[in-house]
Amino acid sequence: MNMKRTLIVVGLSFTALVVIGGIAKRVWAQGAVEKRFDQLDKNGDGKITKDELPAAEFFKRLDLDGNGEITKPEAAKALAGGAMNDLTKPKPVTPAPTGPTPPEAPVRQGPQPVRPGDHGVGRLVPDASFTDVAGKTHKLSEFTKQRAIVVAMTSTSCPISKKYLPTLVELVKASTGDVAWVLVNPVATDKTAEMQTAAQQFEGKAIYVHDRDGELAQSLGALTTTDVVVIDAARTVVYHGAIDDQYGFGYSIDAPRYRYLADALSALSAGKQPLVAATEAPGCTLDRPSAAPVTTEVTYHNRISRIVQQHCLECHRDGGVGPFSLASFDDVVAHAGMIKQVVDRGVMPPWFAADSSGKGDAKSSHATWANDRSLATAEKQDLLAWIAGGKPQGDRRDAPRPRPFADGWLIGKPDAVFEFAKPLAIKATGTMPYQNIVVETNLTEDKWVQAIEVQPGDRGVVHHVLVFVQGSDDKDKGSRDDAAAERGGFWGIYVPGQSTLVYPDGFAKRIPKGAKLRFQMHYTPNGTATTDKSRIGLIFAKAPPLHEVKVAGIVNARISIPPGADNHLEEATLRLPLDAQIMGFLPHMHLRAKACRYEVTKNGETTTALDIPRYDFNWQLLYRYFEPLALQQGDAIKFTVWYDNSANNPANPDPTKTVRWGSQTFDEMHLGYVEYFVPGAKPGESPSLHGGRRAAAASAVRDGVGDALFKRLDGNSDGALTREEVRSALPNNPNAAGPVFDRLDTDKNGKLDKTEFEALKKLLNR
C-alpha cells in the first residue's frame, strides 16, 4: 500500500472511531472514565448529549435516568453496574425485520440416523446371484463362512461415490478374512473401463459388480449410490446406511466425525449389535420402479429431451463439468432417481433466487434475471410425471435436433491466454485450503476485454475460481486475499455451469499494462490424486467501450459468529457516492452461511433486489439483471447474511468456535459483490463505488474533521499527540502509530503538534 492510500485509510479510521462509538466500547471498558468523559464533553458543560455521543446503544446504557444527558457520576455508576459487560460476549443476533426468517438450508445434508425397521434392518435378504466385472458368477450364500458380508453401493459417475472410493479401499485392505466385500454399481451407463480401474484398486480383496438392471441393489433395499448394507452369515441385515459423515450434499470435511460402517463391523466382531444400525446415506438416488405407473402422454423424445437440452446439457455432457452425461435417453433413465431427488429439493438446475420473476413474498425492486436457469412449473411437473409414469421413450421422430456445443473455448478463440506456470498438486481425499496462484500477463499496454473465460485444468477437482487483477505497480501479493482485496471485486470467475463473462458491444473490463492475475482456487478432492493447471482466455474489444464494467464488494470484515448460533445475522451497507447502473450480484460466503439478501433503499423506500433463502457455497452464482438497475448518488445497497454455526450444520468445521473473517473455508466471509457501470463516466477514468466513498471521507477530513480528531486523540489535552496516545486510541490500526506517524513527525521528536497533524490534510489533497 502506498503512503497516500495508507493516509486515506487512516483518515477514514479516525472518522469512523468518532462516529460509531468505538471510543466508548474500547475505552469506557478500560475504566478511563474521567479522561474519556472530558474528551467527549465538547463544550465542557459537564454533560454528554446524544450529539456528543451519537452511538444510540452506548448512550442508552449510560443514561441511567433517561433524561437525554449523561453526567460523569452517572457514567461511572453505569459502568460499575456492568452496563457494558455483555459487549464482549458474542450472542446470536435476531434477523432484521426485512422479511420472513430464512429457513434451515436443505442444500447441506449429511447422514442422519433413521429407524432401523424403516431401513430394512432385521429382514432376510434373498439369495441373489450376480456376476462381477471379471465375468465370474457369485451368490450371497457362498459367503456363509464369513462373519459378515458388506455390500457397498458405488458408482464411477456419482461425485460422492467417487470421493468414498479411497475410503472403501482402505476399509477393505484393513479388514480381516472373516468379512466379505461386494461393491455394487447400479448405474447402467457407467463405463466398463472405469469400473475395471476402480476394481483393481481393491487388489482382489473385493468383488466389483455392475448391476446394470439394478436388481441386486433393489433386492438389498439400497437407496443411493453410497448406501452400505451389512448382512450376517444368515443373510440378515444388521446395518444399512452411510460409510461415515465425511462427505454429503453440499459439504466435505477433512476427516469423518462418525465412522458408522467401521463401528458396525467392530460391534459385530465383539458379538454385539451396532449402536447405530441405520442412517441415511447421501449420494445419487437410485430409481425404484413405481408400483402403479402413472399414465402420461409425455415421452422422452417429445418433451423431456428438450427440457434436458435447455437446463442440463450445458454441464451434463461428454466434456462438460457435470459428473455424468445426460445426453441420451439411456443416460437420463439411468440417473432418473437422482434427477427426481435434486429437482424435488430445488438444487438443480442450480438457481437459488427466491423468485425469478421478482414478484415473490419479499417486495422486489426489479424484474427479470437474464441468466435465470430455474425450471418453470410446467417443466418440473412434466419431468416428474414422466419419471413416475415409467419413463416412456416415445417416437424418435419427435426428437429435437442435437444441441451443438463448441469445442475448446466457449467464447471463441481468445486473443490472449494466461495459465499457471506449473501444475498444482491436488490430494485425493479430505479438503484443501484456498490456493492463490499469481500469473504474469506481461502486457505492454492497457487492454479492454469484452469476453473472459476461465478453464480449469481438471474440472473434476476445481470447485470455483475467482480471478483478481493486480496492477503493475503492486508487489507480489499472491497470498493476499484480505478484506481490502475482496472489496475491490473479482475480475474473472468460474463455477460449474458459469465459466464465461461476455459483455455486449460498448461494455468491457480493463486490464492494465503489466498487470498480474491472481487465481483464487478452491479445490474439492474427488477420491483420486491429480494435478491442475488452470487458465484464462480473453477476447479484446475492437474499440474502447462506452462503459467500463466494474465490480465492488459490500464487505463486513468484522463479523463475529458465536459458537452454536444457528441463525446469526450480519450485515453491511454500501451508500452510493455517485450514480450507478447495477448489472448483477454475486454473494460469496463460506460453509456456515445459509441465507442472504440484497436490499436497495431508493428515495426512502427499501425493496428486495435479490433474496437467497437457501445459500449454497458450492454454487458461487452471478445473478445478472436483464435490464440494469438504475441507482443514484445517496441510494444504498444493504447486504445481509444469516449464518448457521451450530452442530446441526453438517458442513460446519467446528461449532464450538467463534468464527470471524478469514480467507479459508473454515473461516467465514461476508461479501456481496455488485457488478456495475457508471453512466457518463469516461472508460479508464470511471470512478469506483468504493473510491468515491473514500474520496468523500477524505474530503470530510480536509474540511475540518481533522481539528476535532486531533482534540479527541490528544488524551492528556497537552496540544501534542504521542505515539502511545495514537496507539491507545487505534489499537487495531498499527499503521496509525507506525509509518503514518513517522511521516507526519517531521521534526522527529516523537510527538505531533497541530501543524504537523495538518500535513495529513495536505497529503490527502495529493
C-alpha closest to that of 622 among 410, 401, 373, 406: 373
pLDDT (tens digit per residue) in 710-753: 776 777 888 888 888 887 766 656 667 777 888 888 888 889 88
pTM here is 0.62
Select from 119, 534, 504 the least CA-distant residue to 321: 534
Here the contacts of 264-268 (C-beta below 8 Å, separation 24 or greater) are: 264/230, 264/238, 264/239, 265/148, 265/150, 265/175, 265/179, 265/230, 268/147, 268/148, 268/230, 268/232, 268/238
Query: What does the pLDDT look like over 405-459, one tens digit per residue?
Result: 766 788 889 999 999 999 999 999 888 888 999 999 999 999 999 999 999 988 8
Q: Is the pLDDT of residue 660 over 60?
A: yes
DSSP state of 284: P
- For 62, residues 6+ apart whose C-beta sits below 8 A from its C-beta are 28, 48, 53, 70, 74, 75, 78, 79, 83
pLDDT at 5 over 60: no
Q: Are 392 and 400 in contact (CB under 8 A)?
A: no
Mean pLDDT of 688-706: 50
pLDDT higher than threshold 50 for residue 101:
no
Q: What is the pLDDT of residues 498-519, one digit of tens each?
A: 788 989 889 999 999 999 999 9
Of the candidates 186, 189, 227, 194, the one whose C-alpha atom is nearest the C-alpha of residue 210 is: 186
pLDDT at 11 over 70: no
Asked if pLDDT for residue 183 goes beyond 80, the answer is yes
Q: Beta strand pairing status for 535-540 and 447-455?
A: antiparallel
pLDDT at position 675 is: 94
CB-facing half-sphere around the CA of 131: CA atoms within 13 A: 6
> Is the model's pLDDT at 140 over the cut of 80?
yes
pLDDT at 79 over 80: no
C-alpha cell at 508: 468491457
Determine the Cα–Cα distance for residues 225 and 341; give it in Å rounded to an integer.
13
Q: Which of 424, 448, 443, 638 is nearest to 522 (CA)?
A: 424
Please report which confidence band the pLDDT of residue 488 belongs to, taking 50, 70 and 90 as the band edges: low
Query: Which residue ranges form the domains of the chain, and what is each CATH number?
Result: 3-89+690-765 (no CATH), 116-269 (3.40.30.10), 300-338+356-398 (no CATH), 406-545 (2.60.120)
Among 149-153, 189-193, 502-506, the minimum mean pLDDT is found in 502-506
| Least confident span in 213-222, 292-301, 649-658 | 292-301
Residue 477 to residue 519: CA distance in whole angstroms: 11
- Mean pLDDT confidence for 324-346: 91
The CA–CA distances, whole Å, from 618 to 274, 377, 523, 589, 673 equal 34, 24, 11, 10, 17
Q: Which amino acid is at 693?
A: R
Helix (H) or strand (E) holding 261: helix 260-269
Taking residues 565-593, what's their average pLDDT?
A: 93
Give, in order, the Cα–Cα distances in Å from 742 to each of 475, 528, 751, 756, 760: 22, 54, 9, 11, 12
C-alpha cell at 474: 503492486
pLDDT of residue 295: 59
pLDDT tens for 618-631 read 888 889 887 899 99
DSSP string, 395-408: -GGGPPPPPP--SS
| Beta-bridge partner residues of 516 | 440, 470
Inform me whether the pLDDT recorded for 35 exceeds 80: no
Average pLDDT over residues 530-555: 94
Residue 8 has pLDDT above 90, yes or no: no
Residue 400 or residue 260, greater confidence: 260
Q: In the predicted model, is pLDDT for residue 13 greater than 80?
A: no
Q: Is the pLDDT of residue 104 over 90?
A: no
Query: ω before 349 within 30° of 0 (cis)?
Result: yes
Q: What is the mean pLDDT of residues 261-283?
A: 87
Give the pLDDT mean for 645-654. 91
Confidence of residue 357 (pLDDT cuts 50, 70, 90): very low
pLDDT digits (tens, 9 = 90+) for 667-695: 899 999 999 999 988 888 878 887 544 44
Judge whether residue 356 has pLDDT over 80.
no
Rounded to the nearest 5 degrees, what angle is found at the Cα of 758, between the Cα atoms of 757 and 764?
Answer: 105
Q: Where does residue 272 rank: exposed (0-12), middle (13-18), buried (19+ CB within 10 A)?
A: exposed
Quick one: pLDDT at residue 10? 34
Gyration radius (Cα) of the chain, Å: 30
**Interatomic CA distance for residues 554 and 171, integer angstroms:** 46
- Calculate what percentage of the chain has a pLDDT beyond 70: 81
